[in-house]
Amino acid sequence: MKICPLYLNGDWLVSSPFEQVINPATGEAIAQVSTIDRARVAQAIADAHEAFQSWRKLTGKARGMFLRAIADEIENRSTEIARTMTLENGKPLAQSRTEIAFAVDHLHWFAEEARRAYGRIVPQQVDGKRHLIIKSPMGVVGAITPWNFPLVLAVRKAAPALAAGNTIILKPAEQTPLSAIALAECVAAAGLPKGVFQVVLGDAPEIGQEFLQNPLCRKVTFTGSTEVGRILIAGAAQTVKPLSLELGGNAPVLIFDDIDLDRAVEGALAAKTRNTGQSCIAANRVYVQRPIYEDFLEAFTARMKSLKVGDGLEKDVDIGPLIDDAGLTKALAHIEDAVARGARALCGGKRFGDKGFFIEPTVLADVPDDALCTQEETFAPVAAISVFDTEEEAIAKANDTIYGLSAYAFTADLDRAFRLAESLEAGTIGINDGVPSTSICPFGGVKQSGWGRELGSEGMDAFLETKHVSLGLQI
């Protein structure tokens, strides 16, 4: 079986113990990946600090050229990287290709933004002074990423961090390290100086603590569950380490009776089933206005039944496996709980096949507010649907959660669209749009879905310090 090295200070290191990577479509191991201990992570931070001294001095334009070179490498290898991503994550091959295209677009966006780390000059209010506001890179960044979008979420951190003049150490999820290693290969081929970008793997809590406690690591950026986010916040308190946190979601979808039914069905379907329902912005709760409730249930269920489930490498598959047995067990428990509380299962509800971690696309109607699938992220192609009467009721239900990453609404009423945009408590709101993310706009959560924003021009700010330089002048 293939043994994968880690990318440390410009070298490839094979180091045991190895961690197995499992193909979720078969449950079989496909690779072994090296791991390192905390002391070696500390060495990586020291090397990144050394590399920072010269990387920060490059112009934004020069750093942007490196990002473009990484993007070119990824594009040239996209067929092979897409296959790797599908093998380790399970997502349908077409969606792996989309993720790669998205990552390439992020790199292009931040290559451009690298030239625009603007400060400003503030007019003085006393004679003999001038005030400059300048933006400086922070230093070494520790990045921790999840398995559900193994390439794009790493690039979403690495591209702006590098563009801003920082160096970065990436700790990918143990389920999907191969996409991160492919990214490191592209970084190496693009000729970035040693130590500017590194990949580590090992005991996740230990690596997290090293990032938080090592004084040379100046920022920690994390995407993952709210639960782990809370652990990092507690750890960061000791060293007052700046954190960016992209955490869990519980996205509502509101469907009003003025919308064209097909448009609502297709939008909700995209928001629910992309990445096999394992997206932080996946539709988790669908609320439909009473006059179209039964029609929506019928049309949506027909579409869910039409989805092809299978190994992501097979042609035309829409729904791949869930990431692991724990993900499958959780989704089945959510279905069982909803049905026990009175929900109607309109399709699916069971495990699919006898190998890997597949689940049938599932529609649950009349799901009560206290069901687990309404309260927590289900992270599966399980649609929890219920009815509402008024706009006020729909907004109250949508906001009745500790999370606030994304929300969706389908309506043909422009006034209502603006009311929803202003009252829904979420960092990203898709109105008549089931796929709202883009490189050019900020992404992040409110409430317990996180701190800070990625992408857009805000994505660079997350990796820049703002300094005020006050000049005393005799002029």
Which residues in this chain contact ligand NAD in the complex, by CB under 6 A? 144-148, 153, 171, 173-174, 204-205, 208, 223-225, 228, 231, 246-249, 280, 377, 405, 445, 450
Tell me whether the omega of the peptide bond preceding residue 17 falls within 30 degrees of 0, making it cis: yes
Residue 31 Cα distances to 35, 150, 474, angstroms: 13, 16, 67
Whichever of 39 and 414 has its CB closer to ligand NAD, that residue is 39
Q: What contacts 315, CB < 8 A, 6 or more positions away?
A: none
Whichever of 250 and 301 has its CB closer to ligand NAD, that residue is 250
- The catalytically annotated residue of 280, 360, 425, 454 is 280
User: Which is it for strands 19-23 and 11-13: parallel, antiparallel or unpaired?
Assistant: unpaired
- Least distance to ligand NAD, CB of residue 103, Å: 14
Helix, strand and coil content of the chain, in percent to the nearest 5, comes to 40, 25, 35
- Least distance to ligand NAD, CB of residue 403, Å: 9
Report whether 44 contacts 169 (CB < 8 A): yes
Collapsing DSSP states into helix, strand and coil, what is residue 375?
A: helix
- Least distance to ligand NAD, CB of residue 473, Å: 45
- Least distance to ligand NAD, CB of residue 227, Å: 6
- Least distance to ligand NAD, CB of residue 211, Å: 8
Whichever of 311 and 377 has its CB closer to ligand NAD, that residue is 377
Collapsing DSSP states into helix, strand and coil, what is residue 168?
A: strand
Is 441 marked active-site?
no
Whichever of 55 and 109 has its CB closer to ligand NAD, that residue is 109
- The catalytically annotated residue of 99, 246, 360, 391 is 246
User: Which is it for strands 217-223 and 140-144: parallel, antiparallel or unpaired?
Assistant: parallel
Whichever of 121 and 402 has its CB closer to ligand NAD, that residue is 402
- Cα(51)–Cα(39) distance, integer angstroms: 19
Whichever of 279 and 301 has its CB closer to ligand NAD, that residue is 279
User: Which is it for strands 28-33 and 19-23: parallel, antiparallel or unpaired?
Assistant: antiparallel
Report whether 455 contacts 443 (CB < 8 A): yes
Q: What contacts 92, CB < 8 A, 6 or more positions away?
A: 86, 276, 312, 317, 318, 319, 320
Phi and psi angles of residue 341, each rounded to the nearest 5 degrees, phi first: -95, 10
- Least distance to ligand NAD, CB of residue 427, Å: 8
What token pair was written down for 417?
């669209």
Is 280 marked active-site?
yes
Residue 181 Cα distances to 1, 130, 151, 176, 348, angstroms: 16, 47, 10, 9, 36
- Least distance to ligand NAD, CB of residue 193, Å: 26
Instruction: Provide the residue type at 178 as one letter.
Output: L
Whichever of 60 and 208 has its CB closer to ligand NAD, that residue is 208
Catalytic center residues: 246, 280
